[in-house]
Structure 1
Amino acid sequence: MSKANNFQRIRELNFLQKAALAAAILERMLPNYQLFSDATGFGDQTVLRNALDLCWEKILVPKSKISFEKQIEKIEPNVPELSQFDMFGTYPAIDVSTALLGMVQGLMTKDEHEFVSVAKISQATVAKYIEFLLMAEEVLPDNQQVREHPLMQYEIEVLAELIEHVETMGRVTSESVKALKSLALADGQTNIGIELN
């Protein structure tokens, strides 16, 4: 399953399908923030968790009145500054915050490009992590190594699986959303392969 193929398939989904897919991808990214927060004492993971829950609510009940402006105001102070932390975990934490802000923005402005970006950000997080791992082994990473790395192959596979689920799930109902969420978390790890206990 080639990467371009996945993104082409995402573009062919309707608005709600794209939104549900992006929220499912965020479920896999969010625990990275918790790990960063636990390690540094910075940020409040519950703010991000609540915002993502509200995104799901909006996807399920498009008419629900949710102040996404307020959510953006709450999330922004929780986005870490790269310059303030000397650890790799800052990158995934920034990525999930950025992806979540995009998701909220997309639901607010009905801009489905934001949902496609969530998938791209997730893949970029994985690429950064692979580069970090290779450099730790004193290997200078190139694009091919990153692309062929098992973690990236796995990210592409999981994305393909989630897309397939969304393509075939029909109407967005609480049942189909529950199934999508559990599929996203079925392997018990974040998008960069960190085990969730």
Structure 2
Amino acid sequence: MAIQLPFSHLSQWQQIAFSAALLERMIPNYKVFSEHADFGEFSVLRNQLALIWQWLDKNNRCKINYDAQINKLEPQIPDPEGFDFFGVFPAIDATMATMSLLQAMQDKEVQGAEIVSRLSENSVTYYVELMIADQRDPDDDNDITTKEIEQHPLMEWEFDTQNELYYALKDFPENKETCIKIKAMVLEEGLSNLGIEIT
């Protein structure tokens, strides 16, 4: 069921822009978790994503101390054993996606876009599975099918967003205007990839 986009056809810049745009839809889930669990500093993820967007502006490119940023990020990763509610998992996905992107920016061998794509999709898949299970008759012990998950509106939206983003980046120039366009594209609904309102 995994989204499989041919990221090798994108330049490093395009892959980083793709990942940054997906992170705009993922990190609000971390904010909700952080506020609910009283854990972590959302501002660390927000500031790191702002740095990444600035790095993507070739005319005003900033230097990033990757080791320092990764050291700041590591304490923000929650331990799933420490929390007994679903929100911890999309929070982990958001931090791991940010970590993977920072690593990919310094090492072209790291498949950053592929990892971020998969983590975003995983967050949605798991959430959709929980929602489908919650809506079922308690006596229904049949397994949830791949088709049920794929046809859920949130899952369809995730597939559509990733595809739209990928093909837009293939056609757009590598500049600040493209960053503004793709960021607006993914934030148009004002919702995270789980349908949570972005505040």
* Structure 1, 91-100 or 10-19: larger mean CA deviation: 10-19
Residues 19 and 112, structure 1, Cα contact 8 Å, conserved in 2: no
In the alignment, is the contact (CA less than 8 A) between 2:2 and 2:121 conserved in 1? no
What's the offset of the Cα at 1:100?
Answer: 0.5
Counterpart mapping for 1:40-79 below 5 A: 40-61=37-58, 64-79=62-77
Task: Choose which of 140, 146, 149 in structure 2 pairs with 1:143.
Answer: 146
In the alignment, does 2:12 pair up with 1:15? yes
More displaced, 176-185 or 139-148? Answer: 139-148
Stretch of structure 1 that moved more, 21-30 or 107-116: 107-116
Runs of 4+ that moved beyond 3 A: 61-64
In structure 2, what residue type is equivalent to 1:60? Answer: D
Query: For residues 41 and 120 of structure 2, what CA distance do their matches in structure 1 show?
Result: 20
The match for 1:188 is: 190
Name the CA distance, whole Å, in 2 between partners of 1:167 and 1:65: 25
The alignment's TM-score, normalised by the length of structure 2, stands at 0.90
Cα RMSD, aligned residues only: 1.8
Please say if residues 29 and 96 of structure 1, whose CA atoms lie closer than 8 Å, have aligned partners that are also in contact. Answer: yes
Matched, 1:179 2:177: no
* Residues 100-128 of structure 1: per-residue CA shift (max 9 Å, x gap): 00000000112351222101110111000
Which letter does structure 2 place at the counterpart of 1:133? M
131 and 179 in structure 1: CA distance in 2 versus 1, 3 angstrom threshold: same
Q: Structure 1 counterpart of 2:15, which letter?
A: K
Instruction: Give the Cα–Cα distance (whole angstroms) in 1 for the partners of residues 51 and 185 of structure 2.
Output: 19
CA distance in 2, matches of 1:110, 1:52: 19
Could you tell me whether the CA contact under 8 Å between 1:55 and 1:107 is conserved in 2?
Answer: no
Q: Which residue of 2 is the match for residue 95 of structure 1?
A: 93
Greater Cα shift, 148-157 or 100-109: 148-157
- SS, match of residue 196 in structure 1: coil
Q: 3-state DSSP class of the match of 2:196?
A: coil
Shift of 1:3: 5.9
- How many pairs align? 193
Gaps of 5+ in 1: none
Q: Secondary structure of the residue that 1:7 maps to in structure 2?
A: coil
Identity of aligned residues (%): 32
Is the contact between residue 129 and residue 144 of structure 2 (CA under 8 Å) also seen in structure 1? Answer: yes
Equivalents in 2 of 1:35, 1:76: separation in Å?
Answer: 19
TM-score by length of 1: 0.91
Residues 1:160 and 2:163 are matched in the alignment: yes
Deviations 1:11-51 (A, max 9, x none): 31111111101100001111000011111110000001111
Q: Distance in 2 between matches of 1:110 and 1:56?
A: 18
